Amino acid sequence: MTDNKKPDHSRRKERSRRAILEATRALVAEEGYDGISIEAIASRAGVGKQTIYRRWPSKDAVVFAAILALGENRDGDDIALPDTGDLRADLRLVLRATVEEFTDPAFDRLMRAVNTAVSDNETLAARYREEFARPLDEAKRARLLSAREAGELSPDADLDLMLETLYAPLFQRWLHRSGPLTAEYADALVDTALRAFGP
């Protein structure tokens, strides 16, 4: 009965999709959020504007998708935090790595663009939390849980609050450029969190 009449254009689709996202990423990394426009993305990707509008409803959504796509090859193991049994050492490693990421100019501009896109758009903000932040948070939370069970943290430690205590200062310093982002700073954040939530 139902014979499939629709050809599958997935290959072209996929090619143009990638071109668009890559062009967007490149433009954001080069020029920052304000320097980009749908026309610039289309032109750079060698694509018609309609091909962009067919998939995404706004510039913010494209920028957002472009950054999200960065993480789409990740699988669960990639984002699992190290667990050597020594929480302090593991957290220092991870926060130092985070500090380094934020220090990279290309990553800086990408994240600022995401931040701008998300800041005034509740829908994108929700997707950001669900699709971008949550997987990372789950991984971090898992490490803290393991530590709590190992007695490295107080039994009634609020792990979500502890995560915020660890990461929010870092995020704020980066966003407002209100202080240096260094390995020492990362270590200090770990120490602070452990003092507050340790046994």
1 contacts DNA (rule: CB under 7 A): no
Question: Which token pair is 186?
Answer: 């990362």
- Min dist CB 188 to a second copy, Å, is 6
Q: Is the dihedral of CA 171, 174, 180, 183 positive or negative?
A: positive
43 contacts a second copy (rule: CB under 8 A): no
16 contacts DNA (rule: CB under 7 A): yes
Closer residue to a second copy, CB minimum distance, 78 or 158: 158
- Return the residue of 22, 31, 44, 58 that touches DNA, per CB under 7 A: 58
Distance CA 66, CA 53 (A): 14
56 contacts a second copy (rule: CB under 8 A): no
What is residue 160's three-state secondary structure? Answer: helix
- Return the residue of 1, 5, 84, 120 that touches DNA, per CB under 7 A: 5
In this structure, are residues 20 and 45 in contact, taking their beta carbons and an 8 Å threshold?
A: yes
The piece of 3-11, 66-74, 89-97, 168-176 that touches DNA (CB under 7 A) is 3-11
61-74 burial, b if ≥16 CB within 10 A, otherwise e?
bbbbbbbebeeeee
- Min dist CB 157 to a second copy, Å, is 10
Distance CA 97, CA 120 (A): 29
- Return the residue of 129, 182, 183, 184 that touches a second copy, per CB under 8 A: 129
Q: Nearest-CA neighbor of 82 among 159, 160, 146?
A: 146
Distance CA 162, CA 77 (A): 23
131 contacts a second copy (rule: CB under 8 A): no
Q: Nearest-CA neighbor of 29 among 110, 137, 87?
A: 110
Site residues for DNA, 24-53, by CB under 7 A, read 37-40, 46-51, 53
The piece of 2-10, 17-25, 97-105, 160-168 that touches a second copy (CB under 8 A) is 160-168
In this structure, are residues 162 and 193 in contact, taking their beta carbons and an 8 Å threshold?
A: yes
18 contacts DNA (rule: CB under 7 A): no
Q: Which residues lie near DNA (CB under 7 A)?
A: 3-13, 15-16, 19, 37-40, 46-51, 53-55, 58-59
